[in-house]
Chain A
Amino acid sequence: MTEFTRRDFIGVAAATTLLPRVSYAQSSQVIVGTWGGDYGDLLREGVDQAIMVPQGIEVLQDVSGPVPRRTKLMAERQNRRGSMDVACLADFDMFTATELGALEELDEQNVPRMGNVFPFLRKSHSIPQIYSAHTIVYNTDRITTPPKSIHDLWDPKYRGKVGLSDFLFTTNTAFAAIAGGGSMTDFAPAKKKLMEWRSLDAKVLASTEAVAAAFKSEEIWMTIIAAARGYMWNEAGIPLGHVIAEEGAFPTVYEAAVPRNARNKENGLKYLDAMLEPAAQTAFAAKMGYVPTVSDAILDPELDKRINFTEAEKERFWRPDFAYLAKYQAEMLDFWNRDFKG
């Protein structure tokens, strides 16, 4: 009969506790914290199935809204192991996560395709996956002369016909700040312009979907929203166009990063690289109207004309100061809720 001493027992027990970790580390899996809907589907088709699965890596989507995902990233940052290998978030949320040291540093060594990213979108701890700009989107049937300036949003001839998404209070406040003579680090002038909007009966719409419905019913003729949204709704049959005003527009970038405590860091980095592949990028452009972030993703000329921005337009993009936005966001929401909407 085999002798089983106390020492053997402790040894086996210790080895057993290591087993799950070893198998976890070796498993070819990557957990991607992402949005669902079209976004999740496009990732599944263009990245998961097309690039990751052929490499023998299984992709599990952890679908949620951005708020729980951001919160999870923040709350887990002190843990030895996080629950996501890739986190997809908008630029503002990603900035906060970067500042808190929650993300792995990226460069061409660990994400080779970072070299193809447009310099103006490049960051140290995240990849820009897709981008567009929050700008003036308008009904082309009702407004036959395209707006040129953001001041057109305050033109009395559009009284009651300007809609503002409640969800985009930061962007709307940024436009009001610029119109009032402020800058990306001085939103104080926004207050006066927001109250002017109020006196011009600007409509506050509860959600992005409500903006689409208001455009469809012609309750509104003009709004501030991502040019990509304008494209999507245009594809759905609403006569819409967009302009980058002479004062500029507010860029919006959807990004992805690998948490520092990711269990499958290597696979996470491979996933980021795959997200930057031209085929994956162009699929998002065709379906959602967001512009590729890499120089070698070539769009169909017709699509490019509708969703992309000229060099002159890109030059006019504002450079949001995320530290300033983070510091004053609560104050902005307070003013938006109690004074502008109240």
Chain B
Amino acid sequence: MRKHETAVFILPAGLLVCALLGVPMLMMARISLNHYDPMVLMVEALTAENYLRAVTDPYYQQVLMVTLGVALSSTVLTLLLAFPAAYWLSRMESRWKSTVTILTLFPLLVGNVVRSAGWIALLGNDGLINATLQEAGFIVGPLRLLYTPGAVIVGIVGVVLPYMVLTLSAVIEGIPRQVEEAAGNLGARPLTVFRRVVLPLATPGVVAGSVLVFILCMNAYATPVLLGGPQFQMMAPAVYDQFSRVSNWPFGAALAFILLIVTLLMTVVGSAALSRKYRAA
């Protein structure tokens, strides 16, 4: 493809991204350097005070750590759950394959808030699980299932699972079945075939799926707010707090950029490490 043809193809999407993402981000970057005043809200300045406060304050360090912890746990759990499903889906030869693929997409048709409402109905003190356990006499009082980090991780995994399954299955589908059969014929056990053949060849899918899911987890808002409760803090709700509750746009913008930078760094470092590990294998 010639250079000018490439430019024509990427121009519409490029312009859209510049207009709807690049420009607002530049504006946010500028705002993050302003000074906050409770009365006039924002005073024009060129100060790093918001970034300094965010990185030195133990509270926001803790919020960032919780966010990273939840995002990493959710990504690993999603990968573990999605890989077998994606493998099965990609090797499926039944006429139901397209139906199963659509069913995989089905959760994406339900909004995060509605899905969280479902989890609340399931995990709440008077929710289905507690009611059933109490009815069966296994417990006296309700178990605390909702408003816990576990509830947030389960909720987020439920949201991102389809992305991982579809990304992985697209890549696994491209791995010829004969490669696995050849390894088997040469005496490799199923686990060895998986570890030495399938997994290394599926690395691009693992990396792409993990990056996609990790980014979504780092920026999760509705699920931590609804399933984590008011005492559970992650970065996206903390950013929203600064904008909406105290109108501190400069600090909110600085927190947003820190979240962006950390996500970007983790994504680059993580995907490079994963690629190297499985390429070496």
- Encoded as 1 (CB less than 8 Å from any B CB) or 0, chain A from 287 to 324 comes to 00000000000000000000000000000000000010
Q: A333's contact among B226, B229, B231, B245, by CB below 8 Å, is which?
A: B245
Asked if A67 and B229 make an inter-chain contact with CB atoms under 8 angstroms apart, the answer reads no
Looking at B33-41, B163-171, B257-265, the stretch in contact with chain A turns out to be: B33-41
Chain A residue nearest in CB terms to B126 = A217
B59 at the interface (CB under 8 A from A): yes
Number of interface residues of A (CB under 8 A): 26
Q: Given A206-B225, A327-B38, is A337 in contact with B246 using a C-beta cutoff of 8 Å?
A: no
Asked if B229 and A206 make an inter-chain contact with CB atoms under 8 angstroms apart, the answer reads yes
A219 at the interface (CB under 8 A from B): yes
B248 at the interface (CB under 8 A from A): yes
- Smallest Cβ distance from A206 to chain B, in angstroms? 5
A3 at the interface (CB under 8 A from B): no
A329 to B38, CA, bound (A): 8
Q: B230's contact among A206, A330, A338, by CB below 8 Å, is which?
A: A206
Asked if A70 and B225 make an inter-chain contact with CB atoms under 8 angstroms apart, the answer reads no
B244 at the interface (CB under 8 A from A): yes
Asked if A338 and B59 make an inter-chain contact with CB atoms under 8 angstroms apart, the answer reads yes
Q: Given A67-B244, A206-B225, A337-B59, is A217 in contact with B40 using a C-beta cutoff of 8 Å?
A: no
Q: Given A206-B225, A217-B125, A342-B59, is A329 in contact with B246 using a C-beta cutoff of 8 Å?
A: yes
Number of interface residues of B (CB under 8 A): 22
Asked if A166 and B38 make an inter-chain contact with CB atoms under 8 angstroms apart, the answer reads no
Grouping DSSP codes into helix (H, G, I), strand (E, B) and loop, the A interface class, with mixed when no group exceeds half, is: helix
A38 to B97, CA, bound (A): 47
Chain B residues whose C-beta falls within 8 Å of the C-beta of A50 in the assembled complex: none
A106 at the interface (CB under 8 A from B): no
Grouping DSSP codes into helix (H, G, I), strand (E, B) and loop, the B interface class, with mixed when no group exceeds half, is: loop
B267 at the interface (CB under 8 A from A): no
A27 to B248, CA, bound (A): 37
Chain A residues whose C-beta falls within 8 Å of the C-beta of B245 in the assembled complex: 169, 333
Work out how many contacts link A and B, with CB atoms closer than 8 A: 50
Asked if B39 and A326 make an inter-chain contact with CB atoms under 8 angstroms apart, the answer reads yes
Interface residues in B221-236 (C-beta closer than 8 Å to A): 225-226, 229-231, 233
A334 to B41, CA, bound (A): 17
Chain B residue nearest in CB terms to A206 = B230
Chain B residues whose C-beta falls within 8 Å of the C-beta of A341 in the assembled complex: 230-231, 233
B275 at the interface (CB under 8 A from A): no
Chain B residues whose C-beta falls within 8 Å of the C-beta of A219 in the assembled complex: 125
Q: B39's contact among A71, A100, A166, by CB below 8 Å, is which?
A: A100
- Encoded as 1 (CB less than 8 Å from any B CB) or 0, chain A from 160 to 192 comes to 000000100100000000000000000000000
A334 to B251, CA, bound (A): 12
Chain B residue nearest in CB terms to A219 = B125
Chain A residues whose C-beta falls within 8 Å of the C-beta of B241 in the assembled complex: 333, 337
B247 at the interface (CB under 8 A from A): yes
A195 at the interface (CB under 8 A from B): no
- Encoded as 1 (CB less than 8 Å from any B CB) or 0, chain A from 278 to 291 comes to 00000000000000
Interface residues in B242-257 (C-beta closer than 8 Å to A): 243-248
Chain B residues whose C-beta falls within 8 Å of the C-beta of A70 in the assembled complex: 247
Asked if A330 and B36 make an inter-chain contact with CB atoms under 8 angstroms apart, the answer reads yes
Chain B residues whose C-beta falls within 8 Å of the C-beta of A74 in the assembled complex: 41
Closest 3 interchain pairs by CB? A166-B230, A338-B59, A330-B246
Sample (26) of A-B pairs whose CB atoms are under 8 Å apart: A67-B244, A67-B247, A70-B247, A99-B39, A100-B39, A205-B230, A206-B225, A206-B229, A217-B125, A219-B125, A323-B39, A326-B39, A327-B39, A328-B38, A329-B246, A330-B36, A330-B38, A330-B246, A333-B241, A333-B245, A337-B59, A338-B59, A341-B230, A342-B59, A342-B62, A342-B233
Given contacts A219-B125, A333-B241, 15 further A-B contacts (CB under 8 A): A67-B247, A71-B247, A169-B245, A204-B231, A217-B125, A217-B126, A326-B38, A326-B39, A327-B38, A330-B36, A333-B245, A334-B59, A341-B230, A341-B231, A342-B59
